[in-house]
């Protein structure tokens, strides 16, 4: 249960129903500020459209796990498991750097953006360039990680629990991606 009550706006809920058919808990949280949610969707959509989806999801998962956001870790880990990796491989990404040097550099950089952006130096950016990223690619990773900070922190600070739909994930994946303390998935 979230820490705050929000209005029950059936039209808002219905217009933001997930493709799987349920109304995500974050939609309920943002019901009090639909203009903010609409702006978020536009911002996040613009970030995603400039990036390769797999790289976006890796950067987002790295930021979400660094921030200890179970909701965002579960959501983006599920995308990675559905489209790019096995559940076991995604579960390993939480604690182990990926074998691919580009993916490893992207995830490490996204974690640093999420936790300590003020400490990033030219050397950090040069590490990404050394594995083939362009300046635009680096900016995309920064934008994905920074945007995740807004969303993850909003959900954490409002006590928005992960959706019950995540209970259907394989146990190994669900447990690995539940990274926040005291988090209970909705039932």
Q: What is the pLDDT of residues 29-78, one digit of tens each?
A: 999 999 999 999 999 999 999 999 999 999 999 999 999 999 999 999 99
CB atoms within 10 A of CB 122: 8
Domain assignment of residue 131, yes or no:
yes
Q: What is the pLDDT of residues 33-42, one digit of tens each?
A: 999 999 999 9
Domain assignment of residue 26, yes or no:
no
Domain assignment of residue 34, yes or no:
no
Burial category of 52 from C-beta neighbours within 10 Å (exposed 0-12, middle 13-18, buried 19 and up): exposed
Domain assignment of residue 121, yes or no:
yes
Using pLDDT thresholds of 50, 70 and 90, give the confidence band for residue 97. Answer: confident
Token couple for 93: 């990404």
Domain assignment of residue 10, yes or no:
no
Domain assignment of residue 43, yes or no:
no
Q: Which domain holds residue 164?
A: 53-177
Domain count for the chain: 1
What letters, b where the CB count within 10 A reaches 16 and e where it falls short, cover 128-156?
beeeebeeebbebbbbbbebbbebbebbb
CATH code of 73's domain: 1.20.1290.10
Domain assignment of residue 46, yes or no:
no
């Amino acid at each position: 249960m979230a820490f705050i009550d929000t209005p029950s706006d059936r039209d808002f809920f219905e217009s933001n129903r997930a493709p799987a058919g349920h109304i995500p808990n974050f939609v309920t949280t943002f019901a009090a500020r639909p203009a903010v949610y609409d702006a978020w969707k536009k911002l996040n959509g613009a970030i995603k459209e400039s990036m390769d989806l797999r790289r976006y999801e890796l950067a987002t998962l790295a930021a979400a796990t660094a921030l200890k956001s179970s909701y965002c870790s579960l959501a983006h880990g599920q995308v990675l498991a559905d489209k790019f990796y096995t559940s076991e491989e995604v579960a390993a990404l939480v604690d182990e750097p990926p074998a691919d040097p580009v993916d490893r550099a992207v995830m490490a950089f996204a974690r640093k953006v999420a936790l300590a952006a003020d400490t990033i130096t030219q050397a950090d950016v040069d590490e990404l360039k050394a594995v083939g990223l362009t300046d635009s690619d680096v900016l995309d990773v920064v934008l994905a990680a920074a945007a995740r900070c807004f969303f993850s922190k909003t959900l954490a600070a409002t006590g928005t629990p992960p959706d019950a739909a995540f209970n259907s994930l394989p146990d190994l994946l669900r447990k690995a991606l539940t990274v926040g303390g005291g988090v209970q998935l909705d039932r």
